[in-house]
């Protein structure tokens, strides 16, 4: 019941904000309502620890012959970190919004809270059918938000193509259901047959842009900080949470190395582009790809706790950086805690990341870690393009640092207590090697042109430069669009009436023959 209660707090608060905006547009305490509801939701998620593990099943899902598993949710030691990370992110978005020019945008706050509620349902989904329903709701929300944020028909087409990749991920989840049912097993995370887990890994990797490598959304979107960050990270968490539920036995397949290779290739590419990005928001898609690929690699190695560690790092560390829009020396130094959190050093958030050694692939993982840490440190210490905290009003100078500090504190908290991957020594030797490589990259970045920031990229449907893994989707979309345009022009032209009469005659003729 606590799972539904936490989600309902987010939803009810969001509905309240929308109602106030419509019926009392001049109200001044809307932010306090959003803040109070988010605090209450975060507190309720922290209370989950008192009853861990617990589950909730909704048994009125019909028909039973088609859906053998009810809609169900579960809180345990692997999905609780995702839940607390998403709740903390929502609160951080509200606290850092006080310095934004459009601070009084109530609809944005409501959208952030609604996304957080859906995110809680996604990360606690106890079977793939439940997750499929929440994924569909999140994808539709993202589609509508993106279409409203982008400008021009070409950018709208890219949003549709990005949405289609997520639909393909849902299709893989449905195919895993077919595989499970055909082998005589129910479609849940416990009794999944051997090999079916690979479909779930592929579904999560496809939605994240990892398997195969692509940018899963348009980089031209106007959604930047605040709601844009929440949208990106909630969507990422909903996909990566699936990896923690996959039984190790269901990954017993000789095809695992063939998924590890493209996953690590995506991780290195994402880390490289993240290091060379001109700013953190431009590099945000590569941060997500890099950390998501490491999470996929951990899952394929049979390390669920490591997969969760990378997923929570993506949310907490990335969220603290992407929400930083104000320059302050002490905040910049506090952000450096994130470098420790992704270092896999003992007692860090990611200390459990490589409890299962991937063997031959480990050097590539160390390289990815170094690229990601070096890029994070460079962006965290960047001061250009940000306003000073000293010029802000007095009350915002107090509230804003708490928004960033909350996510930094959560990194430390999850590294020490609260879930199955806390207080781990981990693989400290590779962590030290990655740390030395990071310092080497930081030394080389200002001295060699190859490390200079770049703006261009070749991956994903957002660019038409060269072949793309999803070029065929783009072609299908173009073909259908052109066909629809041709039919419309034909029917609306001078001969439109004649064509309409012809179709009517053919229809009547067919109906008459059928009656005879």
pTM for this entry:
0.85
Distances (CA, A) of 398 to 87, 90, 382, 390, 392: 21, 18, 22, 11, 10
Coil, strand or helix at 1: coil
- Give the separation between CA 460 and CA 220, rounded to whole angstroms: 12
Q: Decide if 241 contacts 309 (C-beta within 8 A).
A: no
Residues 145 and 213 in one domain: yes
Domain assignment present for 474? no
pLDDT digits (tens, 9 = 90+) for 83-133: 999 999 999 999 998 887 776 678 888 989 999 999 999 999 988 888 888
| Residues 412 and 504 occupy one common structural domain | no
Backbone angles phi, psi at 56, to 5 degrees: -140, 125
Residue of 502 and 411 predicted with greater confidence: 411
SS3 160: helix
Residue 493's domain comprises 479-515
pLDDT of residue 458: 39
Q: Tell me: do 345 and 402 sit in the same domain.
A: yes
Residue 414 shares a structural domain with residue 505: no
Spatial distance between the Cα atoms of 299 and 260, rounded to a whole number of angstroms: 10
| pLDDT value, residue 453 | 67
CA dist., res. 417 & res. 84, Å (int): 13
Tokens encoding 142? 């993202």
Report pLDDT digits (tens) over 277-311: 888 888 898 999 999 999 999 988 888 899 999 99
State whether 38 and 155 are in the same domain. yes
Does 462 lie in the same domain as 505? no
Nearest partner of 479 among 491, 469, 487, 489, judged by Cα: 487
Residues 432 and 490 in one domain: no
Count of domains forming the chain: 2
Contact assessment for residue 408 and residue 337, using Cβ atoms and an 8 Å cutoff? yes
CB neighbours of residue 11 within 10 Å:
20
């Amino acid at each position: 019941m606590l799972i539904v209660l936490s989600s309902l707090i987010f939803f009810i608060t969001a509905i309240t904000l929308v109602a106030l905006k419509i019926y009392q547009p001049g109200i001044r305490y809307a932010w306090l309502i959003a803040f109070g509801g988010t605090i209450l939701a975060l507190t309720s998620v922290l209370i989950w620890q008192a009853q861990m593990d617990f589950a909730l099943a909704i048994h009125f899902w019909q028909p039973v012959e088609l859906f053998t598993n009810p809609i169900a949710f579960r809180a345990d030691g692997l999905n609780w970190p995702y839940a607390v990370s998403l709740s903390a992110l929502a609160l951080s978005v509200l606290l850092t919004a006080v310095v934004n020019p459009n601070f009084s945008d109530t609809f944005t706050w409501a959208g952030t809270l609604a996304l957080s509620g859906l995110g809680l349902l996604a990360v606690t989904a106890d079977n793939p059918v439940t997750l499929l329903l929440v994924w569909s709701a999140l994808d539709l929300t993202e589609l509508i938000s993106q279409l409203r944020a982008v400008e021009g028909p070409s950018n709208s087409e890219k949003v549709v193509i990005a949405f289609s990749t997520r639909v393909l991920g849902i299709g893989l989840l449905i195919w895993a259901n077919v595989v499970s049912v055909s082998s005589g097993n129910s479609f849940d995370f416990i009794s999944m047959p051997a090999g079916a887990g690979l479909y779930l890994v592929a579904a999560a990797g496809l939605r994240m842009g990892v398997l195969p490598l692509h940018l899963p959304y348009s980089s031209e979107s106007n959604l930047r900080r605040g709601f844009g960050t929440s949208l990106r990270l909630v969507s990422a968490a909903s996909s990566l949470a699936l990896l923690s539920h996959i039984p190790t036995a269901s990954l017993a397949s000789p095809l695992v190395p063939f998924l590890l290779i493209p996953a690590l290739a995506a991780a290195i590419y994402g880390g490289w582009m993240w290091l060379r990005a001109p700013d953190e928001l431009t590099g945000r898609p590569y941060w997500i790809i890099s950390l998501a690929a490491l999470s996929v690699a951990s899952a394929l190695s049979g390390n669920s706790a490591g997969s969760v560690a990378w997923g929570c790092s993506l949310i907490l560390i990335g969220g603290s950086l992407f929400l930083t829009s104000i320059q302050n020396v002490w905040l910049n130094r506090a952000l450096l805690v994130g470098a420790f959190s992704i270092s896999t050093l003992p007692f860090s958030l990611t200390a459990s990341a490589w409890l299962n050694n991937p063997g031959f692939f480990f050097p590539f993982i160390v390289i990815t870690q170094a690229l990601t840490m070096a890029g994070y440190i460079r962006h965290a210490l960047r001061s250009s393009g940000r306003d000073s905290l000293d010029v802000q009003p007095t009350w915002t100078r107090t509230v804003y640092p708490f928004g960033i500090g909350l996510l930094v504190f959560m990194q430390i908290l999850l590294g020490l207590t609260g879930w199955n991957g806390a207080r781990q020594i981990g693989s400290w030797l590779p962590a030290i090697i990655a740390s030395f490589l990071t310092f080497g990259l930081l030394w080389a970045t200002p001295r060699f042109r190859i490390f200079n920031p770049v703006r261009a990229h070749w991956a994903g449907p957002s660019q038409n430069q060269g072949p793309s893994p999803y070029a065929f989707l783009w072609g299908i979309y173009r073909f259908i669009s052109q066909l629809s345009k041709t039919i419309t022009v034909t029917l609306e032209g001078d001969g439109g009436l004649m064509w309409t009469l012809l179709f009517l005659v053919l229809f009547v003729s067919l109906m008459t023959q059928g009656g005879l």
